[in-house]
Amino acid sequence: MSLTEQLDTLRIAKDLRLPIERLMRALDDAADANEVAQEAQIQIEFVQAMEAAKKIRGPQVEALYILFDDAVQARLKA
């Protein structure tokens, strides 16, 4: 399933999609495990900020954490 399809399933607002896509691209561009870890921390902070701003709620929060974590784990294996 593509990122767009996943975000559709989660009903993520359009104004949040571009920042999420940028975070995923930055993760893909990470050169080593240290950079991957830094990007993972940025992703966590993004989700926390969006939750605090009430732009995402309960199930979306958990699903975004899982989405980002899966991407980080896949990147580390690559």
Q: What is the pLDDT of residues 4-54, one digit of tens each?
A: 999 999 999 999 999 999 999 999 999 999 999 999 999 999 999 999 999
Sequence-distant (≥ 6) Cβ neighbours of residue 2 within 8 angstroms: none
Q: What is the pLDDT of residues 57-67, one digit of tens each?
A: 999 999 999 99
What is the predicted pLDDT for the residue at 78? 85
pTM of the model: 0.92
40 to 9, 11, 54: CA distances (angstroms): 22, 22, 21
